[in-house]
Chain A
Amino acid sequence: MNFCLNFPLFLIVGSLLFSVISSVLPKKAARVLTLFLTLAGALLNLVIAVYCQRTGGSFTYLMGHYPHPWGNELRIGFVEALFSSVFSAVLFLTVVGGRTTLEKRVAREKGQFYYCMCDLVQAALLVLVYTNDLFTGYVFIEICTIASCGILMIRENGRTILAAVRYMIFSLIGSGLFLLGVIFLYAVTGHLLMPNLRESIAALVSGQVYRLPLLASLCLITIGLSIKSGLFPFHIWMADTYGNAIPASSGILSGLISKGYIFFLIKIIFDVFGTEVFYASGIHNVVFALGALGILIGSVSAIRENNILRMSAFSSAAQIGYIFMGLGLSPALGMEAALFHIIAHAVTKPALFLAAGYLSDSMGSAKKFRNLSGAGYVNPAAGVFFSFEAFSMIGLPLTAGFISKYLFGIAAFESTHNKMIPTLLVLAVSTVLNTAYFARTVLRIYSKNKEPGKFMRVAVKEQKNYMVSAAVFTALNILFGVLAYPLIDMLAVGLTVF
């Protein structure tokens, strides 16, 4: 059983190695490698999660057996293992489900690069979840940025390149600020490993010295990572980016990559600064306010949008707002709600983007609502799955979305700092707004087509991959929605050893 402690390193090295090999392989072989890798990531991490759950703790993996403060470490507990398992599983399902569009829209000779980038995304996400070293985190943040830029512009037209440039500019500003924050921390503490940083910061805080540099560094790190994950008002790159990329890329970007940065931020809050320092700094209030504003403004922008992919993009901005709102709410329940919402959104959004992409494809690449009437009849599978995912985004019972809204509500009742009323109000208003734009879309795709017979009904045979992946997404969503409580209890226990 102790052998499973090596799995994280195997997965990271494997992902990096496979991504290099994939670039010279034929497309099909590269796809097999990616599928193997992501599936292995999901299963092996599940094993680690079970192991950590049984032993009730976390373990530190010394790279090259150098003890701290010199070496580089990975640290894995239940929460980390669970999240990397979910991330890998979602990546697997998205690659499976998005294959048809990928092959249709991407030049034949470039297919393997897409899989190469997917491997890199997997490596970067795993490192962001596992690492115990801030600078390693910075390096893999940049790798993640480059890889996501690659999967964005794999379908090369002017708009995707422009979207990629905008995304890169925001991302680079974010990582620049993050780097400056890390350098400030290194300057005042002399450490980069999280346990050492935690000790030095606790000593500095209790000695009341270097308060300003610490606060500045916390600010810079929080702002940097929230720019990268697309918190309001930095969400403006999202609509162009997700609206023009192929659906699988939008799903990976909004479902996984943004979440990877947020998870890293949560890890920094817990392991580097400590929740006491974070919740005494006042930054959590700013994060809370921006999260709440992001929910409202993202939803309103989604209502005003007339393009199905851009609407889903603005809805992503709103969902990122939920996560940050939970983060700002309270260290225990709010954080649990935020973590659960990361999972819930990761199993919902990629499926929604895939379904939207297939609907639009079946109507001759139409993206505007006025051209999508009756799409649910032309492509019945995509229509059904789109409606289901939309219900989960609204938060109907039996779906994961319901549980996360419920958890935010509970967290609001138990929070002390005058945040109860705003949180509940935002939850109520945003549910109404969500319903407004998703109900409109679902009604539109099931409305009567003005020109019946113009588009052929899509055969099951043509999208077998997609149907399997969407069915698994739906099953996962219901699983998290129905059996949420055991998972939430385990998350709560896992957070104590985070």
Chain B
Amino acid sequence: MLETLWNNRIEVIAVVLFAVGLTTLFLHKNLLKKIIGLNIMDTSGYLFLTSLGYIEGRLSPIVSDGNTDPSRYVNPLPAGLVLTGIVVSVSVTAVMLALTLRLYRRYHTLNLDEIYRIVHREQEEEP
């Protein structure tokens, strides 16, 4: 059991990080911490992918000395996926930060429960 965990330590760390990020995103009241949780969650996925793509002793897939034997190089696809994923997570984070900024300017707090209480009161008063 322990040996399996040790052999797959990077994957285990990735899954633990994913859980940490997910619970922070879901349960934390503070909007900024939620966004940090989101980033931890996404990054753990990229850690998993990167570790899949790394094979010890092989080179990065850029042919420089004329050797085109594919067994010398690692598969570039996981790295490509990670790069795409990073772009996605950066843009989502930007959107979330912009939303948070708007909310903060309006309600002067980052506590989601607090904002919810204020908004609920507003809603009761409308026609």
User: A138 contacts which chain B residues (CB < 8 A)?
Assistant: 88
Q: How far is the CB of B79 from chain A (nearest CB, A)?
A: 13
A158 touches B25 (CB 8 A): no
Residue A498 CB within 8 A of the other chain: no
Binds A, one of B34-42, B55-63, B64-72: B34-42
Binary contact track A156-188/B, C-beta < 8 Å → 1, others 0: 101101101100110011001101100100110
Pick the contact of B107: A158, A173, A183, A367 (CB < 8 A). Answer: A158
Q: Are B103 and A162 in contact (CB under 8 A)?
A: yes
With A139-B84, A139-B88, A183-B48: A169-B107 Cβ-Cβ less than 8 Å: no
Q: Does B13 contact A (CB under 8 A)?
A: no
Produce 1/0 per residue, A121-140, CB < 8 A to B: 00000000000000100110
Residues of A within 8 A of B4 (CB): none
Q: Which of A79-87, A145-153, A436-444 has 4 or more CB atoms under 8 Å from chain B?
A: A145-153
Which of these, A165, A363, A371, contacts B103 with CB under 8 Å?
A165
Question: Known contacts A146-B92, A146-B95, A367-B127; is A158 also within 8 Å of B119 by CB?
Answer: yes
* Bound-state Cα–Cα, A164 to B112, Å: 13
> Smallest CB-CB separation from B124: which chain A residue?
A368
**Residue of B with least CB distance to A158:** B106
Which of A145, A179, A367 contacts B126, CB < 8 Å? A367
Q: Indicate the size class of the contact surface on chain B.
A: 35 or more
List A contacts of B91 (CB < 8 A). Answer: 142, 146
Do residues B25 and A169 form an inter-chain contact, with CB atoms below 8 A?
yes
**Knowing A161-B106, A165-B103 touch, does A173 contact B25 (C-beta < 8 A)?**
yes
Question: Which single member of A145, A153, A179, A363 contacts B99 (CB below 8 Å)?
Answer: A153
User: Does A365 sit within 8 A of B, measured CB to CB?
Assistant: yes
Distance A168 CA – B38 CA, assembled complex (angstroms): 11
1/0 per residue, CB under 8 A from A, across B13-33: the answer is 000001001100110000100
Tell me the minimal C-beta distance from B78 to chain A in angstroms: 8
Report the separation of the CA atoms of residues A157 and B25 in the bound assembly, to the nearest whole angstrom: 24
Please tell me if the beta carbons of A172 and B92 are within 8 angstroms of each other in the complex: yes
Q: How far is the CB of B1 from chain A (nearest CB, A)?
A: 14
Query: Which A residues are in CB contact (< 8 Å) with B81?
Result: 135, 186
User: Which of B21, B34, B81, B118: most chain A Cβ within 10 A?
Assistant: B81
Give B96-112 as 1s and 0s: 1 = Cβ < 8 Å from A's Cβ atoms.
Answer: 10011011001100001
On whether A176 and B99 interact (CB within 8 A), knowing A159-B122, A162-B119, the answer reads no
Q: Least Cβ distance of A257 to chain B in Å?
A: 16
Do residues B99 and A165 form an inter-chain contact, with CB atoms below 8 A?
yes
**In the complex, what residues of A have CB within 8 A of residue B96's CB?**
165, 168, 172
Contacts A145-B92, A180-B45, A367-B126 given; does A164 touch B25 at CB 8 Å: no
User: Do residues A366 and B119 form an inter-chain contact, with CB atoms below 8 A?
Assistant: no
- Neighbouring A residues of B123 by C-beta, 8 Å: 159
- Asked if A176 meets B26 with Cβ closer than 8 Å, knowing A139-B88, A162-B115, the reply is no
B6 within 8 A of A: no
Contact B102 A161 (CB under 8 A): yes
Query: Which among B45, B102, B112 is the interface contact of A183 at CB below 8 angstroms?
Result: B45
- Closest-CB distance, A240 to chain B (whole angstroms): 8
For A165, what are the chain B residues with a Cβ–Cβ distance below 8 Å?
Answer: 31, 96, 99-100, 103, 112
| A159 and B22 in contact, given A187-B52, A364-B127 (Cβ under 8 angstroms) | no
For A141, the closest partner residue in chain B by CB is B88
Contact B127 A365 (CB under 8 A): yes
Q: Mark B67-95, 1 if CB is under 8 A from A, else 0.
A: 00000000000100100110010011001
Q: Which residues of A contact B103 (CB under 8 A)?
A: 158, 161-162, 165
Q: Judging by beta carbons under 8 Å apart, are B99 and A161 in contact?
A: yes
Q: In the complex, what residues of B have CB within 8 A of residue A367's CB?
A: 126-127
Proximity bits, A324-367, B CB within 8 Å = 1, else 0:
00000000000000000000000000000000000000011111
In the complex, which residue of chain B has the Cβ closest to the Cβ of A168?
A: B96
Contacting pair B102 A156 (CB below 8 A): yes
Q: How far is the CB of B122 from chain A (nearest CB, A)?
A: 7
Cα A179 to Cα B14 in complex, Å, equals 13
Q: Inside 8 A of B26's CB, which chain A residues have their CB?
A: 169, 173
A158's contact among B42, B84, B122, by CB below 8 Å, is which? B122
Instruction: Report the 8 A-B pairs with minimum CB-CB distance, sorted nearest first.
Output: A366-B127, A142-B88, A176-B41, A158-B106, A161-B102, A371-B127, A179-B45, A165-B99
Q: List 9 A-B contacts (CB under 8 A).
A: A156-B102, A173-B26, A176-B41, A179-B45, A180-B18, A180-B48, A186-B49, A187-B52, A368-B126
A-B contact sample (17 more), CB < 8 A, given A135-B84, A172-B25: A139-B84, A142-B88, A142-B91, A158-B115, A159-B119, A165-B96, A165-B100, A165-B112, A172-B38, A173-B26, A176-B45, A180-B45, A183-B49, A186-B81, A187-B52, A363-B127, A365-B127
